[in-house]
Structure 1
Amino acid sequence: MSIAGRVRLPPTVSLVLLASILVSFLAASAAPTPLYGIYQERWHFSPVTTTLVFAVYALAVLASLLTFGRLSDHVGRRPVLAVAIAVQILSLVVFVLANGVPALLTARLVQGLAAGAATGAVGAAMLDIDRARGTLANSIAPGLGTGSGALLSALLIRYLPAPTRLVYVVLIVVLLIQAVGVALMPETVTPMAGARQSLRPEVRLPRSVRGPVLVVVPVLFAVWALAGFFGALGPALVRSLMDTSIVVAGLVLFVFALFGSVAVLVLRNTAARTVILTGIVALILGMVVTVVSVMAQSVPGFFVGLALGGVGFGGGFQGSLKTIMPLVEAHERASVLSLLYVVCYVGFGLPTVIAGFLVVYAGGLPQTADEYSVAVILLALVALFGVRRATRAASG
Structure 2
Amino acid sequence: MATVVVTNLQAQKEAVMTAVLDRAESRRYLPRTAAFAGISAAMVAILVAAGAPTPLWPIYQHEWGFPSWLLTLAFGVYALALLVAILVIGSLSDHIGRRPLMIGALALELVAMLAFLFAPGIGWLIVARVVQGVATGAASSSLSAAVVELAPERQKKLGAMMTSMAPLAGLGIGALFAGVLAEFASDAAFAVWLVLVVVMVAGTIFTLFTPETVSRKPGALASLKPQVKLPVQVRRLYASALPGIVSSFFLMTLFMGLIPVVLVAVFTVDSPVAGSLAAFVAFGAGTVLSATTSSLKPHRLRLAGTSAMTVGAILFVGSIGAHSLTLLWVASLIAGAGIGAAFAGTTRGLVPEVAPHERAGIFTAIYLAGYLAMGLSAIVAGLVVGVVGVASMATGFGVVTALVALAGVIATAGLHRKDKK
TM-score range normalised by the length of the shorter chain? over 0.9
Q: Verify the 8 A CA contact 1:218 1:379 in the aligned structure 2.
A: yes
In the TM superposition, what whole-angstrom CA distance separates every residue of 1:13-70 from its partner, at most 9, and x where no partner exists?
A: 2111111111111111111111111211222222211111001110111110011111
Q: Which moved more, 1:175-184 or 1:315-324?
A: 175-184
With normalisation by structure 1, the TM-score equals 0.96
Which residue in 1 is equivalent to 2:410? 385
Which residue in 1 is equivalent to 2:110? 89
Which residue in 1 is equivalent to 2:29? 8
Superposition pairs of residues 19-168 of structure 1, within 5 angstroms = 19-130=40-151, 131-168=156-193
Which residue in 1 is equivalent to 2:213? 188
Stretches (4+) displaced over 6 A: none
Task: After TM superposition, give the deviation of residue 12 of structure 1 in Å.
Answer: 2.2
Superposition pairs of residues 228-377 of structure 1, within 5 angstroms = 228-239=253-264, 240-362=266-388, 364-377=389-402
1:211 paired to 2:251: no
Task: After TM superposition, give the deviation of residue 11 of structure 1 in Å.
Answer: 2.2
Q: Verify the 8 A CA contact 1:280 1:383 in the aligned structure 2.
A: yes
Task: After TM superposition, give the deviation of residue 188 of structure 1 in Å.
Answer: 0.8
Q: Verify the 8 A CA contact 1:4 1:183 in the aligned structure 2.
A: no
Aligned to 1:243, what secondary structure does the other structure show? coil
In 1, Cα distance between the equivalents of 2:243 and 2:349?
14
Q: Which moved more, 1:197-206 or 1:109-118?
A: 197-206
In 1, Cα distance between the equivalents of 2:241 and 2:158?
21
In the TM superposition, what whole-angstrom CA distance separates every residue of 1:113-167 from its partner, at most 9, and x where no partner exists?
A: 1000111000001111233111100000011110111111111122123222111
For this pair of structures, how many residues does the alignment match? 395
In the TM superposition, what whole-angstrom CA distance separates every residue of 1:257-313 from its partner, at most 9, and x where no partner exists?
A: 101101111212210011011101111111222122221111111011011010111
Q: Verify the 8 A CA contact 2:51 2:256 in the aligned structure 1.
A: yes
Question: Which consecutive residues of structure 1, in runs of 5 or more, have no partner in the other structure?
Answer: none
In 2, Cα distance between the equivalents of 1:249 and 1:230?
8
Q: Verify the 8 A CA contact 1:242 1:299 in the aligned structure 2.
A: no
Task: After TM superposition, give the deviation of residue 203 of structure 1 in Å.
Answer: 2.1
In 2, Cα distance between the equivalents of 1:181 and 1:331?
24
Task: After TM superposition, give the deviation of residue 218 of structure 1 in Å.
Answer: 1.0
In 2, Cα distance between the equivalents of 1:305 and 1:4?
52
Superposition pairs of residues 162-177 of structure 1, within 5 angstroms = 162-177=187-202
Residue identity opposite 2:233 in structure 1: S
In the TM superposition, what whole-angstrom CA distance separates every residue of 1:162-205 from its partner, at most 9, and x where no partner exists?
A: 22211111011111112222122111111111111111111221
Q: Which moved more, 1:205-214 or 1:54-63?
A: 205-214
In 1, Cα distance between the equivalents of 2:343 and 2:116?
30
Provide the aligned C-alpha RMSD in A. 1.6
Which residue in 1 is equivalent to 2:204? 179
Question: Which consecutive residues of structure 2, in runs of 5 or more, have no partner in the other structure?
Answer: 1-20
In 1, Cα distance between the equivalents of 2:405 and 2:276?
26
With normalisation by structure 2, the TM-score equals 0.91
In 2, Cα distance between the equivalents of 1:5 and 1:12?
14
Identity %: 32
In 2, Cα distance between the equivalents of 1:175 and 1:94?
13
Q: Verify the 8 A CA contact 1:4 1:184 in the aligned structure 2.
A: no
In 2, Cα distance between the equivalents of 1:30 and 1:375?
23
Which residue in 1 is equivalent to 2:16? none
Which residue in 2 is equivalent to 1:220? 245
Q: Verify the 8 A CA contact 2:88 2:224 in the aligned structure 1.
A: yes
Q: Which moved more, 1:37-46 or 1:133-142?
A: 37-46
